[in-house]
């Protein structure tokens, strides 16, 4: 007797307006523009926030009590963490961070709901179009006279203190000024491109997608060079291990092959990075690269210091003012830090949300919240939590703003990708004689029919 599984019709699939909202959400992540709604609380990635609110309303019937309870549990954990942190006088600042974090999680949940009720091919097409638009825009900025318009728009969108002004450094390292394309700095362009292209790789069903992905990487290295692009290669590793392979995904032979290929990819990435960014690497080895220190080395050292000084609850959410003196002490004790580097605000020199997680929450609450979020992801129907955290950790090396939408969009978009991939595999197995669909997927999406 054979068993057949098929998709029953969804309550309401992703339509044209949902696709438009998804594009606006991505645009908000790309621009990172903020609206100051109160004196202390900004609405970061404002277009994403507005699109997320509308998406949440449109998906209100798709929400489940277990999912909302899981989200509430995560919020309660973060609330408990800020009350556990030392020095209650900084509670006001920490509570502001909590408000921003809740906002980011809620709109991230909204995009998760929208994506998981969407068409995999359509979402992949949107992401590829976004990446190609970035490429065309950067080329126009470089050769088509768009830079003057871009700079004027940037002057209107961002505060003077956050607008990138290190063009001379770009000339030295890369031989030209890197494109910014309406964003505050070149790294915002490369981060968005890296993130969106890696999501496209997961969702695309093209037989040539690996060649296209390599082409996207090569084109980016020419048009908008930067070490962040190396993360594109690293992001292909968790995909190859945890999601690729279809029905054979968990077979021992495929896992061994994926591990070998991943090791080869990592080796090639290191070699390519040393070759393409040799001047940047030379500055790093000479202790002259402030950007790398503030993005990786410095936050890592501060996180280790928090494990020793404040292991229970760290500095608290957005608690940089509380640990400002310790941050400066840790930096000054590092051989890779130069006293000539400017530090306008401590929050400006801790630009790595992976390590900021541990700085804000410490070893104990940092671990508790990771477990809580993982349980929520499981309730959402995520079929590979390890994939989600791997993507989150990798992209964390190129972005800060732990409480901002960009950080949690990375995690929840990755979660949506695991669901979409599993959905597609289940729908394509019209006649299936092997194991039943993943139980988490079946609970989250009961429209997966049983035996017929």
What tokens appear for 147 in the block? 């830079």
The answer to whether 287 and 336 have CB atoms below 8 angstroms apart is: yes
Residue-wise pLDDT tens digits, 227-245? 888 899 899 989 988 887 6
Among 4-13, 124-133, 432-441, top mean pLDDT goes to 124-133
Nearest Cα residue to 204 out of 130, 127, 115: 127
Q: How confident is the model at residue 438 (pLDDT cuts 50, 70, 90)?
A: low
pLDDT score, position 1:
32
330 half-sphere exposure, CB direction, 13 A CA radius: 24
Q: What percent of the chain has pLDDT over 70?
A: 79
Q: H or E element: which one contains 43?
A: strand 42-43
What tokens appear for 319 in the block? 């608690």
Tell me the C-alpha distance between 293 and 289, whole Å.
6
What tokens appear for 275 in the block? 């070759």
3-state secondary structure of 35: strand
pLDDT value at 434 more than 70: no
3-state secondary structure of 381: coil
Nearest Cα residue to 138 out of 172, 194, 186: 186
pLDDT score, position 159:
76
Residue-wise pLDDT tens digits, 116-175? 999 999 999 999 999 999 999 999 999 998 999 999 999 888 876 555 656 667 776 677
Average pLDDT for 333-347: 85
The answer to whether 365 and 84 have CB atoms below 8 angstroms apart is: yes
3-state secondary structure of 3: strand
pLDDT score, position 7:
37
Q: How confident is the model at residue 440 (pLDDT cuts 50, 70, 90)?
A: low
pLDDT score, position 42:
84
pLDDT value at 211 more than 90: yes
The position carrying tokens 């130069």 is 338
Mean pLDDT for the chain overall: 85
Contacts of 61 (CB under 8 A, 6+ apart): 11, 12
Segment among 11-15, 34-38, 200-204, 253-257 with least mean pLDDT: 253-257
Q: How confident is the model at residue 277 (pLDDT cuts 50, 70, 90)?
A: low
The answer to whether 314 and 321 have CB atoms below 8 angstroms apart is: no
pLDDT score, position 4:
33
Nearest Cα residue to 342 out of 353, 331, 352, 334: 331
Q: Is 12 left (phi over 0), alpha (psi -120 to 50) or beta?
A: beta
Q: Is 314 left (phi over 0), alpha (psi -120 to 50) or beta?
A: left
Nearest Cα residue to 202 out of 384, 370, 420: 420
The answer to whether 400 and 356 have CB atoms below 8 angstroms apart is: yes
Contacts of 284 (CB under 8 A, 6+ apart): 292
pLDDT score, position 383:
92
Segment among 156-160, 177-181, 242-246, 327-331 with least mean pLDDT: 242-246
Segment among 155-169, 211-225, 228-242, 268-282 with least mean pLDDT: 268-282
pLDDT value at 111 more than 60: yes
Residue-wise pLDDT tens digits, 407-421? 999 999 999 999 999
pLDDT score, position 342:
82
Tell me the C-alpha distance between 315 and 365, whole Å.
11
pLDDT score, position 417:
96
């Amino acid at each position: 007797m054979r068993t057949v599984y098929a998709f029953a019709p969804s309550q309401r699939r992703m339509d044209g307006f949902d696709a438009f909202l998804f594009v606006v959400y991505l645009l908000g992540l790309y621009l990172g523009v903020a609206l100051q709604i109160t004196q202390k609380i900004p609405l970061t990635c404002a277009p994403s926030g507005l699109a997320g609110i509308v998406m949440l309303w449109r998906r209100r019937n798709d929400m489940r009590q277990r999912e909302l309870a899981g989200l509430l549990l995560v919020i309660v954990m973060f609330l408990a963490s800020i009350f556990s942190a030392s020095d209650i006088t900084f509670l006001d600042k920490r509570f502001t961070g909590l408000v921003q974090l809740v906002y980011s999680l809620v709109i991230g949940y909204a995009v998760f709901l929208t994506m998981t009720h969407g068409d995999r091919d359509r979402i992949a097409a949107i992401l590829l179009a976004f990446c190609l638009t970035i490429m065309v825009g950067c080329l126009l900025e470089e050769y088509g006279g768009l830079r003057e318009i871009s700079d004027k728009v940037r002057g209107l969108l961002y505060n003077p203190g956050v607008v990138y002004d290190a063009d001379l450094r770009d000339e030295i390292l890369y031989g030209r000024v890197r494109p910014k394309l309406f964003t505050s700095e070149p790294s915002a362009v490369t981060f968005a491109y890296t993130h969106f292209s890696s999501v496209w790789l997961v969702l695309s069903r093209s037989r040539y997608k690996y060649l296209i992905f390599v082409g996207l990487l090569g084109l980016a290295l020419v048009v908008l060079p930067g070490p962040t692009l190396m993360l594109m290669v690293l992001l292909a590793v968790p995909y190859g291990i945890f999601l690729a392979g279809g029905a054979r995904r968990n077979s021992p032979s495929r896992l061994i092959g994926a591990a070998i290929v991943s090791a080869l990819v990592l080796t090639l990435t290191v070699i390519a990075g040393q070759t393409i960014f040799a001047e940047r690497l030379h500055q790093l080895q000479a202790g002259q690269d402030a950007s790398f220190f503030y993005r990786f080395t410095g936050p890592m050292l501060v996180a280790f210091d928090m494990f020793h000084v404040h292991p229970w609850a760290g500095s608290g959410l957005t608690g940089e003012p509380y640990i400002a003196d310790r941050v400066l002490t840790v930096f000054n004790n590092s051989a890779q830090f130069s006293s000539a580097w400017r530090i306008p605000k401590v929050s400006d020199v801790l630009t790595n949300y992976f390590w900021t997680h541990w700085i804000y929450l410490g070893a104990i609450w940092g671990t508790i919240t990771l477990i809580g979020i993982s349980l929520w992801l499981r309730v959402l129907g995520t079929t590979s939590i390890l994939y989600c955290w791997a993507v989150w950790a990798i992209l964390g090396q190129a972005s800060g703003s732990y409480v901002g939408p960009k950080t949690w969009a990375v995690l929840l978009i990755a979660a949506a990708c695991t669901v979409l991939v599993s959905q597609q595999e289940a729908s394509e197995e019209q006649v299936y004689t092997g194991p039943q669909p993943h139980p988490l997927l079946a609970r989250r999406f009961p429209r997966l029919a049983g035996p017929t």
